[in-house]
Structure 1
Amino acid sequence: MALGFVAITEGSWPVARRREAGRGLRVLTAPFTVAAPSGARIRDRLRVEPADATVLRLVGEHLGRHQRADLAERVQLGNVRAGDTRRAERKRKLTAVSSSRWAGAMTRASEDQYQLAVRCLYDERAGLRRAIHAITRRLVAPCGKGSKGGVRGYANQNERAQKQRRLHVLQARLAVVESRIAAGHPSITVGGRDLARLRHHLADAHLTETDWSQRWRARRLFLTADGESGAPHGNYTITVDPEDGTVTLVLPKPLRHLANAPRGRYRLAATVRFSHRREEWLDRVTAHGAVRYDIACDPASGRWYLDASWTVEKAVQPSPDELKASGAQMLGVDLNADHLAACVLDVHGNPIGEPITIPLELTGCTATRDGRLRAAISALIAFARKNACTGIAIEDLGFAAARATGRESMGRGRRGKTFRRTVAGIPTARFRERLRGMTYRSGLVVAAVDPAYTSRWGGQHWTKPLQRQSKKTTVTRHHGASVAIGRRALGYGIRRRPGVTGHHRRMVVRRATGQAVTPPRTCGTASPPRTAGTPSQGDKTRPFQGDQLALFPGPQDRSEGHRDSSTGSVRGERPALAIANRNGTVAWYGSGDGGRWTAC
């Protein structure tokens, strides 16, 4: 499930092994290196005065109203070629009510929103088709019986009837999506569809109509200025002086009477500094490179923010094969709903040291969750650099198919519902993007692997060996999964061959049976006689031919006891053991009841 990663090394990684039941394993995709981020974005707070806030709201509402009208016109054109979007005509119309640069930013934003909505329509259609296919297969299977052809039917007639109604609902939604795709008219709600629906449930959200209106108006402001190379400090529409941090912006033509600076510009009393990545921003603006600025408002706190973003040169990341050839260590990471499990692996895929568990508490508001996620990633990067790791291996998770067919393939009842909620709460996309940017800044490489069978095989083959190796950590199956992820990123198999390596090289009795297997023999039979040139087939390496134990009869002495006439043996006699030399002479002998050994 590749969602968002850019594969630098393409291809497939076939593992066509067959299970005993006859079902084949899925073909795994090859591990690939996650591409470096193509841009940077930083934020600083604008401590504006009430008068400045009023001007910003007027400008944002004026531009937002015309941008929404341009977006509606773009949607009516449908899915046409890039040359048939009539952008020049729309831009001339917007220039009359704003400026040339504001008009260019608005038409570009309309095109980006339209293309994003079309991609979302295609994704929704794919998800609906998966869900319809899964329900249809289960409806064909007999109800209340075992699986038929690998497909399990529904438990009872009541559940089957509910699924039939669910199928009709999904088919109706799919028909609407298909018609929108054919017409090229996606549904776009500027400000957010969730916030628009919240208008009818204010009591449940503990909001008043005034609070909702403030949020709605803040979401629909348009204060975005695209960068321009060669312009003063990289942007003419919104300009930030790198020396004193003053912010000025060009006012639209109907609002030019509010200008307090030359050439129809408005200067804010607030200043910005951009503490985070300030050096990069200074290098960019002093060279008059293109920098985009976005002004946003948080109505809940009444704060204003200024975001600066720019593109960076694409860096070529090393492939997994190159990482392995360099002899660097890898940190395998398993992402879970409440923690990160990690383990360090050497170049041969062997775990090193103690595995760690990093808590991941994702509760609270969005800003709090995002901060905790960044803190967990920072701890992960610090652990990787402490252990001299060059890369971090993670799973290429997305859960797109799982979310589409969750009710059919992820359990039923209360337990299945809890499991689906757990899967939905794992921040796969946000974790992926945050990790990609932060690791690149730290000089690390992120390798993504196919998530198939990592938890199952990792827990089966690596939990016990890790627990024997770890003295202070309680190893779980998630730590085993992290080892499996790291081994797959290095190109090794996950499953351990039985008996290849023991946990102690001197005290373990078994041999490396995965490489040299002892042929089985019938129980009760003795090993064939060996000579010096015969290779050893037992559990002990024999340096000399005669160094083996042999049974010899005890010394025939009259004082040993009376011989039994029925059995022919001496009463009270126990066989003696003797060690023979290379020439066959007895060197040591002793009684079989643990007596004293005597040299000959």
Structure 2
Amino acid sequence: MAEVFVVPGPSGVAIRDRLRQLTAGDEEVLRLVGDHLGSLAARDLKTRCAAGLEHDSERWAERKRDLTCESSSRWAGAITKATHDQWSLARRCQLAHIQSLEAGVRTLTHRLSQPIGEQGTKRKPGGYRSEQEWFAKSRRLHVLSGRLEREQADRDAGRVHVVRGGKRLLNTRHNLDAARLTEADWRERWEAERWFLAADGESGKRYGNETIRVTPDGEVSIKLPVPLAYMANTKRGRYVLAAKVAFGHRGSEWADRTEANRAVAYRIHYDVERARWYLTASWQKPVVKTIPLEAARAHGMVGVDTNADHFAAYRLDPHGNPVSDPHRFFYDLSGTAGHRDAQVRHAITRLLHWAKRCGVSAIGIENLDFTTEKTREKHGRRKRFRQLISGMPTGKLRARLVSMAAEQGLAIVAVDPAYTSMWGVQHWRNPLTSTKRKMSSHDAASIAIGRRALGHPIRRRTTPPHDDRSDRRGHRTVQAEPDTRGREETRPRVPGSRTRSVHPDAERTRATRTPRTVRDVRSAQERVQDPLLPTDQER
């Protein structure tokens, strides 16, 4: 099992606002600047990919000098940095693809080595069902082995395959009818995605950015490249847009940075579908110091089980006991990316508000990572399951939850997801199900996640045999701390009545039932003795 840890807070902020009331001249300038800088970025990306692993600081400086004469030193710095980040991202994706191919080859090799019809276990899969399936998988093994060799050769040579504008949009060009686009519509989207209108911030400069400057009152101005300097409408080769921005979210924080001349990066983006221009402001912030794990557990925990269509949450006290009823926060991951993101943000907002009302300091969640769980070699014909885990935005969801929880003063505790669903159903589903409470497997898994985040075992205390219970009846499920002495011993004998109306230390002075036989009368007299009557010895 991986160790439980508190997830670090966010290290950056990004806010966006629409550029309204742009004139036709403003849009023409933005298109020309974006197209010119985009061509420079494409050329620089080609140079960076050709350098491969032999690239160093001298070649980086040479690339920047070549771009400066056609733009400016700051534009050239932003382009070279974005190009290097894109090349690094392609390298990481290449490594992930190689690891996925290696996992598929290992699985196929193992299953092909097993006899046909061999049953598998929980740890390792068995053989294939028929000779036809065995033959088809043997051919697929050769295909994956060839792909793996090519990808490994490209990685050793430092070659990456990058498409400015996106590979998905590039392939859409060959399927315009299926995408319901005309060639002109596709061309407009392709050009907009290849534009470059982004500038890094610089502390100490006016309003934190010399290339794309935004004043505290919302005025936006752009430093034009050298070939387009003739289009400037103000001094020093700058163009001031007619539109003004007003950031509603984190607007005060952004204004404090701009007034203090602290670095703020800006990016201008054109949404082709809506025909709107947007300005995105971003800046770095010190990583939020997370609270210690003991402090996060002090007031209990909210365990959250992430599913394809909802969050299943359950509140637990510091001792690991479920409190109240389960809660579910639904969302819909169908539709466009913007719709999915809005659904996730709305569900997370409701989850955080409920956690604040509960009075807890942290939320326990699984440290999910489906990078090794998507291969069809592992899951075989379970196509719907593969689509299910592929459609869950685990990385984006975790980043969004951490960022939004930090603003609410809540910590996120990540736990190992192993056996949470299995043990949750086994130990918590039936005991908590009643006529007024319906427990699902996801609700039980949220309890298991919360208990693991609190440091308690998921499994309930094992009930001893019937004859070894101290009260000789009932179901003993007392939850004791692991360090409690005598936690496995029998219950101590409490004298007196078990009712709430009589103190436990009070002696019983009357029989609980009427004796029916002589033997019962004698036993009752021996068990119940009036202290005012003389005993046999006194007589």
Contact between 2:309 and 2:333, CA under 8 Å: does it hold in 1?
A: yes
Change (3 A) 1:234 1:509: same
Q: Tell me, which stretches of 5 or more residues in structure 2 are unaligned?
A: 465-470, 480-486, 499-503, 532-539
TM-score by length of 2: 0.88
Contact between 1:546 and 1:580, CA under 8 Å: does it hold in 2?
A: no
Partners of 1:322 and 1:331 in 2: CA distance: 14
Identity %: 43
Give the match for residue 16 of structure 2.
43
Displacement of 1:296: 0.5
Give the match for residue 18 of structure 1.
none
Change (3 A) 1:255 1:377: same
Change (3 A) 1:585 1:215: closer
> Which protein has greater RCO, CA pairs closer than 8 Å, 6+ apart?
2
Give the match for residue 360 of structure 1.
331
2:110 pairs with 1:134: no
Q: Which amino acid aligns with 2:214?
A: V
Q: Which amino acid aligns with 1:361?
A: D
2:48 pairs with 1:71: no
Displacement of 1:401: 0.7
CA deviations on 1:308-337 (whole Å, 9 max, x unpaired) are 00011122102323322xx21211100101
Partners of 2:283 and 2:231 in 1: CA distance: 30
CA deviations on 1:543-584 (whole Å, 9 max, x unpaired) are 9999999xx9966xxxxxxxxxxxxxxxxxxx6553255699
Contact between 1:547 and 1:581, CA under 8 Å: does it hold in 2?
A: no
Q: 2:315 aligns with which of 339, 344, 353?
A: 344
Change (3 A) 1:586 1:422: same
Displacement of 1:363: 1.6
Partners of 2:463 and 2:56 in 1: CA distance: 62
Give the match for residue 213 of structure 2.
239
Displacement of 1:420: 1.4
Give the match for residue 61 of structure 1.
35
Give the match for residue 397 of structure 1.
368
**Structure 1 segment 299-378 matched on structure 2, within 5 A:** 299-324=272-297, 327-378=298-349
2:431 pairs with 1:465: yes
Partners of 2:299 and 2:472 in 1: CA distance: 31
Give the match for residue 509 of structure 1.
474
Partners of 2:36 and 2:524 in 1: CA distance: 105
Partners of 2:441 and 2:283 in 1: CA distance: 42
Contact between 2:509 and 2:530, CA under 8 Å: does it hold in 1?
A: no
**Structure 1 segment 60-459 matched on structure 2, within 5 A:** 60-80=34-54, 82-83=56-57, 86-147=59-120, 150-243=124-217, 245-324=218-297, 327-403=298-374, 405=375, 407-410=376-379, 412-413=380-381, 416-459=382-425
Give the match for residue 467 of structure 2.
none
CA deviations on 1:358-407 (whole Å, 9 max, x unpaired) are 1111122111111111100000001001111111111111211101x3x2
Query: RMSD value over aligned CA atoms?
Result: 2.9
Q: Which amino acid aligns with 1:441?
A: E
Partners of 1:553 and 1:487 in 2: CA distance: 52
Give the match for residue 482 of structure 2.
none
2:443 pairs with 1:474: no
Q: Which amino acid aligns with 2:399?
A: E
2:2 pairs with 1:29: yes
Partners of 1:381 and 1:586 in 2: CA distance: 62
CA deviations on 1:71-122 (whole Å, 9 max, x unpaired) are 11111111246435x1111111100000111001011111111111111111
Displacement of 1:51: 1.7
Partners of 1:553 and 1:291 in 2: CA distance: 91
SS at 1:43's partner residue?
Answer: strand
TM-score by length of 1: 0.79
Partners of 1:473 and 1:251 in 2: CA distance: 65
SS at 1:389's partner residue?
Answer: coil
| Higher relative helix content | 2
CA deviations on 1:2-47 (whole Å, 9 max, x unpaired) are xxxxxxxxxxxxxxxxxxxxxxxxxx10111111110100000012
Partners of 1:513 and 1:222 in 2: CA distance: 64
Q: Which amino acid aligns with 2:317?
A: D
Number of aligned residue pairs: give it: 508
Give the match for residue 523 of structure 2.
579
Displacement of 1:241: 1.2
Contact between 2:314 and 2:323, CA under 8 Å: does it hold in 1?
A: yes
Q: Tell me, which stretches of 5 or more residues in structure 1 are unaligned?
A: 1-27, 501-505, 520-534, 556-574, 588-600
Displacement of 1:434: 0.8
Contact between 1:225 and 1:237, CA under 8 Å: does it hold in 2?
A: yes
Partners of 2:516 and 2:85 in 1: CA distance: 96
